[in-house]
Amino acid sequence: MANRLAKETSPYLLQHQNNPVDWYPWGAEAFAAAKKLERPVFLSVGYSACHWCHVMEHESFENAEIAKKLNDNFISVKVDREERPDIDQIYMNAVQSLTGRGGWPMSVFLTPEKQPFYGGTYWPPKAARGMPGFDAVLDAVLDAWKNRREALFDQAKQLTDHLKVVGSAGTGPSDTKLSVATVTAVEAALARNFDLREGGFGAAPKFPHPMDMRVLLRVAQRSGKAAAREMVTFTLDKMIGGGIYDQLAGGFHRYSTDARWLVPHFEKMLYDNALLTGALVEAYQATGREEYARTIRETLDFILGDMTDADGGFFSTLDADSEGEEGKYYVWTVKEIDAVLGAEDAKLFNTAYDITTAGNFEVEEHPGRSIPNLPRKLADVARSLDLEIADLQSRLAAARTKLLAVRKKRIPPGLDDKVLVSWNGLMIDAMAAASGALDEPRYLAAAQKAADFILTKLRKPDGRLLHAYRHGQAKFDGYLDDYACLANALVSLYEADFDARWINEAGALCDVMLDRFADKTSGGFFYTADDHEELIARNKDVYDNATPSGTGMALAVLVRLGKLTGIEKYVAAAERGLKSLGDLFERAPTAVGQSMLALDLWLGPTQELVVAAPDAASRDEVLRILRRQFRPHQVVAAVPNTGKSELLAGLLAGKQPVAGKPALYICENFTCQAPIVGLEAITKELTKLL
């Protein structure tokens, strides 16, 4: 029989609805039962695309003996970390404090008052590979609960007190002077950890660092030195050619298990593809390299084809596993390639994409499988095959199309089709930026549709945001990153289509952030609103992880709004928030990349550009020039506008075309130069400004 999770909407929770474990979703019912029965709570946190979550489910949560032990002695609570990142943050801090490491599935034991006393990540059902068995862990916890409960409760209280300190740390008064040197110092910090051979930062497993790459592009522009930019381009080139990039369909996998980007953890996350698209857009603007434009198009086309709801929202994840095996959907044997392409074209494809008889994906029970990747430049491959590069590229493109068609007939990885506001904000921002840089209206239309979907379907009657949506149901109060990521995306949308609705909505969301999330005592922002469900700690989200911190995103949009509107509450909040991070900028600059991006724009000098044109067509001609260039220290407004915005009244006041020609007004702190008139003069001026 299905357990209580059958009534949930989360695909991850629904994966566990037929477990013999008597799961509860997080909520009052579970903790009331724990108090009534005087039982400890077993909290299990994961997400639908998590490979080891699937393993622990199969090994332990489908195991009748373990399920009986849980059902007879514990209250078991299952949480989707993507639905409840507030819960995940708190108890991940607990696990890291207890064990020195973290990850998913996360397994934590709590008192009925929600205080943690023991935890870990994945445990096998029986002791193996140097890990204790989950059965033994349960026995040990139960023994402590029965025989040493008072000591256990003391430990839980001490840990909870520690979590309150840890969760609120990271912001406060600082004597650090914020300057351009604060930003440019990041280059040296990242260079110390840069992999000169394979690109990226650190050793295996190797993760994308999109925020750090974007900071480096700004450092390069400020310093004029090539080294910072080359760290970015070298890393992107290695990733684009690696197995972490889906060479057939486009889009990036989560991370690489090795140092050379070959063998990924195969899940595809919306946020990775959004953030890497943003980094690629800026790298394309900075270098003009068509390889980056191609990768942007392939990635966004993959999102539109495979991860977009008919109503416009973007889905969360594609699983790492299919048919119970990680990566099975994506790998190939020489025999399979030959069968699809024929001997001659198969030889070309296998030579270019590293498909070998031995295989490059070492799975003991399935030898001979390969992950398509490009270890050599195509020009070198063409020479080795005595072909013209254009001929090779054409034939490889045709081969990829054929192979993708065959791959689509395989059993696909599971899709988590819930729509999360924060991650949608990141993708809306990426689509809006890409639409301008590539002059591609399809991406702008997708961004507009997604934004309209979020603003329509994930709002409460009072205008507050909800966090998650699936199958017609929106739920969970919005978190800081929901407000910040969406507001930032709406500013980007305004700069893409100049519909005043977006800037008005961005301002309204920022007003809620300042009213409900801001720490008015020591600066910064809490992750949850002041009227959120009471948990054992109220965290501040300061450090970047796979996604940018909520604090960093909040500061980014406040700086942008302050520069566009000049409204004091946004300007002051941005300045106060940035100064509250002064110690972190100095002590851990690579941990706060998104906040560093906000600081870089705040330091400026930032130009407020206003394009005033007699019609939308001539306005867009000017904007095409702007959007081809890497211009990180500017905000853009334009007339004609769609709709009206009081927020923009100051910047747009008096800005008109001149003598029927487009005019460009260049302002700083709302003090404007005389307008530059006519497309030719504007082009020259913008080139000079670079």
pLDDT tens digits, residue range 442-451?
A: 999 999 999 9
Q: Is the same domain home to 104 and 89? A: yes
Backbone φ and ψ of 364, nearest 5°: -55, -40
Whether 1 shows a pLDDT value over 80: the answer reads no
Taking alpha carbons only, the member of 294, 316, 197, 274 closest to residue 553 is: 274
Q: Is the same domain home to 334 and 304? A: no
Mean of the per-residue pLDDT values of the chain: 95
- DSSP letters along 455-490, please? HHHSB-TTS-BEEEEETTEEEEEPPHHHHHHHHHHH
Report the C-alpha gap between 525 and 516 in whole angstroms.
9
Report the C-alpha gap between 637 and 497 in whole angstroms.
10
- Tell the burial category of 472 from Cβ atoms under 10 Å away from its Cβ (0-12, 13-18, 19+): exposed
Q: Is the same domain home to 121 and 102? A: yes
Report the C-alpha gap between 120 and 106 in whole angstroms.
6
Backbone φ and ψ of 438, nearest 5°: -100, 0
Whether 225 shows a pLDDT value over 90: the answer reads no
Report the C-alpha gap between 213 and 201 in whole angstroms.
10
pLDDT tens digits, residue range 303-337?
A: 999 999 999 999 999 999 999 889 999 999 999 99
CATH number at residue 491: 1.50.10.20
- Tell the burial category of 592 from Cβ atoms under 10 Å away from its Cβ (0-12, 13-18, 19+): buried
What lies within 8 Å, CB to CB, of 81 at 6+ separation is: 45, 46, 47, 87, 88, 104, 106
Question: Is 577 part of any domain?
Answer: yes
Q: What is the pLDDT of residue 523?
A: 84
Report the C-alpha gap between 562 and 491 in whole angstroms.
11
pLDDT tens digits, residue range 550-581?
A: 999 999 999 999 999 999 999 999 999 999 99
Report the C-alpha gap between 559 and 541 in whole angstroms.
18
Is residue 296 within 8 A of residue 282, CB to CB? The reply is: no
Q: What is the pLDDT of residue 365?
A: 67
Q: What average pLDDT does this structure show over 277-295? A: 97
Q: What is the pLDDT of residue 620?
A: 92
Question: Is 142 part of any domain?
Answer: yes
Q: Containing H/E element for 78? A: strand 75-80
Is residue 51 within 8 A of residue 5, CB to CB? The reply is: no
Q: What is the pLDDT of residue 665?
A: 96
Q: Is the same domain home to 312 and 334? A: no
Q: Is the same domain home to 38 and 158? A: yes
Domain count, the chain: 5
Is residue 24 within 8 A of residue 4, CB to CB? The reply is: yes
Q: Map tokens 């301002």 to a residue.
A: 507
Question: Is 325 part of any domain?
Answer: no
Q: What is the DSSP letter of 249?
A: T
Question: Is 614 part of any domain?
Answer: yes
Q: Which residues pair with 318 in a beta bridge?
A: 268, 415
Q: What average pLDDT does this structure show over 676-688? A: 90
Q: What is the pLDDT of residue 175?
A: 82
Question: Is 134 part of any domain?
Answer: yes
pLDDT tens digits, residue range 388-430?
A: 999 999 999 999 999 999 999 999 999 999 999 999 999 999 9
Q: What share of the chain is helix, strand, coil (3-state, %, to 5)?
A: 50, 15, 35
Q: Is the same domain home to 285 and 383? A: no
Q: Is the same domain home to 571 and 620? A: no
- Tell the burial category of 338 from Cβ atoms under 10 Å away from its Cβ (0-12, 13-18, 19+): middle
Q: What is the pLDDT of residue 460?
A: 95
Read off the amino acid at residue 109.
F
Q: What average pLDDT does this structure show over 602-619? A: 94
- Can you read off the two tokens belonging to residue 272? 């990775």
Q: Is the same domain home to 565 and 641? A: no
Q: What is the pLDDT of residue 462?
A: 94
Read off the amino acid at residue 446.
A
Question: Is 418 part of any domain?
Answer: no
Q: Which residues pair with 325 in a beta bridge?
A: 322
Q: Which of 388, 409, 430 is the last residue of a domain?
A: 409
CA dist 301 → 294, 477, 578 (Å): 10, 31, 36
Is residue 9 within 8 A of residue 416, CB to CB? The reply is: no
Read off the amino acid at residue 146.
K
Q: What is the pLDDT of residue 362?
A: 79
Choose between 630 and 640: higher pLDDT.
630
Distance linking the first and last C-alpha atoms of the chain: 66
CA 564, 684, 600, 446 dihedral sign is positive
Q: Which residues pair with 473 in a beta bridge?
A: 470
Read off the amino acid at residue 426.
L
Q: What average pLDDT does this structure show over 232-254? A: 98
Q: Map tokens 């270019």 to a residue.
A: 352
Q: Is the same domain home to 196 and 257? A: yes
Whether 366 shows a pLDDT value over 80: the answer reads no
Q: Is the same domain home to 390 and 300? A: no
Report the C-alpha gap between 44 and 16 in whole angstroms.
11
Count of residues making up the chain? 690
Report the C-alpha gap between 598 and 182 in whole angstroms.
12
Q: Is the same domain home to 616 and 595? A: no
CATH number at residue 58: 3.40.30.10
What lies within 8 Å, CB to CB, of 608 at 6+ separation is: 563, 564, 634, 635, 637, 651, 666, 667, 668, 670, 672
Q: What is the pLDDT of residue 521?
A: 85
346: number of Cβ within 10 Å: 20
Q: Which of 144, 168, 192 is the last residue of a domain?
A: 168
Comparing 220-224, 260-264, 363-367, which segment has the lowest mean pLDDT? 363-367
Q: Give the angle subtended at the CA of 41 by the CAs of 38 and 43, to the nearest 5°.
A: 175
Q: Is the same domain home to 141 and 13? A: yes
Q: At what angle do helices 441-457 and 480-497 cross, to 10 degrees?
A: 140
CATH number at residue 641: 3.40.30
Whether 157 shows a pLDDT value over 80: the answer reads yes
What lies within 8 Å, CB to CB, of 288 at 6+ separation is: none
* pTM across the whole model: 0.96
Report the C-alpha gap between 338 and 355 in whole angstroms.
11
Range of the domain at 37: 4-168
Q: Which of 603, 618, 642 is the last residue of a domain?
A: 603
Question: Is 587 part of any domain?
Answer: yes
Question: Is 358 part of any domain?
Answer: yes
